[in-house]
């Protein structure tokens, strides 16, 4: 039987609807609407599209937002000065620095400069350190989106074997920490694998929940998946496709068709984890506005 499709678009819409209700209640107390400031440096087309989506999502839930566009020639000191200004602005609830930054700007230095309480992407060193202790100001948006998808789909990781293929600071490592926490919706036994793992297929076949976040198109094939496993595809890869007007299309890290015949549930690409990242960014922005 083909796998049940985990509809990230529908789940993200439900999260945004919940956030809109909470924002309305928060503003009704006399508080200022939560405000998200996004620093967008350079001319990366995907970043510009993604940031525009974030702005529309904020408007949809009753938040305000601004995009601070900086040229590709921006210096590190200029970016740091903007971060410092936003850190000090009491009207700014959350700050997001859109990655990638121009090559002359050190991303880690910029992330270190962020006020962790306003770091709604949850990727500053302080937030990642607190994540290791189980209590960040804001959990990273994409990993927390994966947990929220599992929760809303009734998939409980407790006691399950989870294999995450990918060790990035953006997804793999923080997701492992979240899933390993002794908490509702977590409490899993987690293995982090990667492209350098010996006999990767033997490791992935042990997973009750398999998360692909390695950044390689269709790298997870059907023979690598345990029958009945839940498969979460975080990958977003552009491949050539002569049937499309653009000549390219978006695919995940999972070979979707064959794997969907083996798994019990699977996220598509597009329309899976991607929409959840923005939804959870809104959750974090509201939390930052409340100071909780």
Is-catalytic flag, 133?
no
Catalytic residue among 115, 118, 119, 121: 121
- Residues spanned by the domain of 172: 141-273
What is residue 278's predicted lDDT score, i.e. its pLDDT? 95
CB neighbours (10 Å) of residue 41?
24
- In this structure, the answer to whether residues 171 and 269 fall within a common structural domain is yes
Is-catalytic flag, 121?
yes
Catalytic residue among 54, 118, 160, 226: 54
What is residue 144's predicted lDDT score, i.e. its pLDDT? 96
- In this structure, the answer to whether residues 149 and 207 fall within a common structural domain is yes
Beta bridge partners of 41: 70
Total structural domains within the chain: 2
What is residue 292's predicted lDDT score, i.e. its pLDDT? 65
What is residue 244's predicted lDDT score, i.e. its pLDDT? 84
d(C-alpha 226, C-alpha 182), whole Å: 25
In a 3-state reduction of DSSP, which class is residue 35?
strand
- In this structure, the answer to whether residues 215 and 110 fall within a common structural domain is no
- In this structure, the answer to whether residues 40 and 110 fall within a common structural domain is yes
- In this structure, the answer to whether residues 189 and 269 fall within a common structural domain is yes
- In this structure, the answer to whether residues 103 and 148 fall within a common structural domain is no
- In this structure, the answer to whether residues 100 and 212 fall within a common structural domain is no
d(C-alpha 239, C-alpha 101), whole Å: 23
What is the value of pTM for the model shown?
Answer: 0.94
d(C-alpha 141, C-alpha 159), whole Å: 24
Tell me the CA end-to-end span of the chain in Å, nearest whole number: 44
Q: What is the dihedral of CA 191, 194, 198, 201, to 10 degrees?
A: 80
- In this structure, the answer to whether residues 169 and 89 fall within a common structural domain is no
Catalytic residue among 98, 160, 208, 253: 98
Is-catalytic flag, 223?
no
Parts of the chain with a pLDDT under 50 = none
pLDDT in tens, 69-123: 999 999 999 999 999 999 999 999 999 999 989 999 999 999 999 999 999 999 9
């Amino acid at each position: 039987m083909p796998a049940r499709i985990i509809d990230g678009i529908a789940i993200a819409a439900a999260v945004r609807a919940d956030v809109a209700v909470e924002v309305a209640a928060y503003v009704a107390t006399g508080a200022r609407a939560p405000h998200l400031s996004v620093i967008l440096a350079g001319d990366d087309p995907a970043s510009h599209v993604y940031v525009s989506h974030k702005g529309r999502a904020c408007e949809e839930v009753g938040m305000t937002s601004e995009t601070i566009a900086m040229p590709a020639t921006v210096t590190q000191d200029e970016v740091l000065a903007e971060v410092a200004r936003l850190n000090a602005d009491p009207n700014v609830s959350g700050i997001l620095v859109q990655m990638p930054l121009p090559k002359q700007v050190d991303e880690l230095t910029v992330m270190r400069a962020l006020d962790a309480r306003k770091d709604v992407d949850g990727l500053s060193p302080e937030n990642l350190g607190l994540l290791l202790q189980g209590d960040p100001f804001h959990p990273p948006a994409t990993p927390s989106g994966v947990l929220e998808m599992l929760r809303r789909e009734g998939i409980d990781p407790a006691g399950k074997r989870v294999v995450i293929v990918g060790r990035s600071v953006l997804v793999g490592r923080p997701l492992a920490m979240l899933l390993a926490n002794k908490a509702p919706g977590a409490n899993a036994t987690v293995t982090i694998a990667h492209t350098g793992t010996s006999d990767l297929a033997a490791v992935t076949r042990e997973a009750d929940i398999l998360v692909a976040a390695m950044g390689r198109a269709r790298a997870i094939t059907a023979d690598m998946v345990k029958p009945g496993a839940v498969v979460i595809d975080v990958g977003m890869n552009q491949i050539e496709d002569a049937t499309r007007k653009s000549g390219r299309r978006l695919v995940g890290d999972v070979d979707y068709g064959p794997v969907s015949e083996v798994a019990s549930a699977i996220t598509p690409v597009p329309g899976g984890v991607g929409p959840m990242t923005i939804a959870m960014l809104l959750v974090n922005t509201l939390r930052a506005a409340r100071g909780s």
